[in-house]
Structure 1
Amino acid sequence: METDTNSRSVVKERELNHAPEKVWRALTQKHLIEDWLMKSDFKPEVGHRFDLEADWGKVSCEVLAVEPHKSLSYTWAAHGLESVVTWTLTETPTGTHLKMEQSGFGPDQDQAYHGARAGWERFLDNLEKVVAGLDEEDAR
């Protein structure tokens, strides 16, 4: 696969005081995804096509990779942007190091790039709240 040297990525990282299993649930269960990101018909299955819907429009996605409690990757196509979102979960002594990378912003996509930088910050704030609200007993 060729790499476009002109493309940019948005990378956001957080340290969460929760086990990877809990964070994974918030990333992969559609009712929880709706609480922090957007409405969706997501399933953590490679090849599954799904949409994320918000008041501003729709994002078309396809699951590319699933490694439970470790990583998740899917395409993110909206308003002319063809990108890939990759989540990486690394267990730490205090919980989980969460990394989100959205790659594929072209040099002419400044508005999308800056919008994503701000948007993911808000989404991750909401994700932290959703994960914190999950009861440990629910995880069983």
Structure 2
Amino acid sequence: MSGAATQTRSVIIEREIAHPPEKIWRALTQPHLIEEWLMKTDFKPVAGHQFNLRREPMPGVNVVVDCEVLAVEPHKTLSYTWAAYGLDSVVTWTLTPTATGTLLRMEQSGFRPDQSQAYHGARTGWREFLDALDAVLARTD
């Protein structure tokens, strides 16, 4: 088996957000806020916690993502597995304070070469999720 077959790709989105890391952290870790910008969840920011993300895009059609928290460093880093539709990936959030707020970096890694549809879907989807996250941050304290 060649090395090329095992190479994976990542979706990386970086965004400068005019809010402090603590506020963004709440939106990334509190289930009622996660639901507003991502999906319904039973997330807890505890390493080893298994949770899922659920959405009904259309009646009778469920999207369920199975996840497990890998790493939690409050206000700095959050990482969890993201398994759905044959995709086994890892989502890592990194928050870096800046002079005007926070540099938020989202990386979803683990897309195999035969998963280009999932890869392109994630590139589009995460931009939409982050736009929704911006809206949540704008209206919460």
- The TM-score, its normalising length taken from structure 2, stands at 0.91
Gaps of 5+ in 2: 57-61
Alignment of 1:6 with 2:12, yes or no, is: no
Contact 2:40 2:55 in 1 (8 A): yes
User: What is the letter of the counterpart of residue 9 of structure 1?
Assistant: S
Gaps of 5+ in 1: 136-140
The CA deviation at 1:88 is 0.1
- Given candidates 48, 66, 83, the residue that maps to 1:77 is 83
Aligned pairs, how many?
132
Tell me which residue corresponds to 2:126.
120
Tell me which residue corresponds to 2:17.
16
Tell me which residue corresponds to 2:28.
27
**Aligned equivalents of 1:133, 1:23: Cα separation in 2:** 12
- Given candidates 66, 69, 87, the residue that maps to 1:63 is 69
Tell me which residue corresponds to 1:40.
41
**Aligned equivalents of 2:139, 2:104: Cα separation in 1:** 17
Alignment deviations for residues 43-73 of structure 1 (CA, whole Å, 9 cap, x no partner) = 0000000000012410000000000000000
The CA deviation at 1:8 is 0.2
User: What is the letter of the counterpart of residue 110 of structure 2?
Assistant: G
Query: Equivalent pairs: percent with the same residue?
Result: 69
**Aligned equivalents of 2:103, 2:118: Cα separation in 1:** 26
Question: RMSD of aligned C-alpha atoms?
Answer: 1.0
User: What is the letter of the counterpart of residue 70 of structure 1?
Assistant: K
- Given candidates 94, 98, 123, the residue that maps to 1:88 is 94
**Aligned equivalents of 1:5, 1:94: Cα separation in 2:** 40
SS in 2 for 1:43: coil
List structure 1 runs of 4+ shifted beyond 2 angstroms.
Answer: none
Tell me which residue corresponds to 2:116.
110
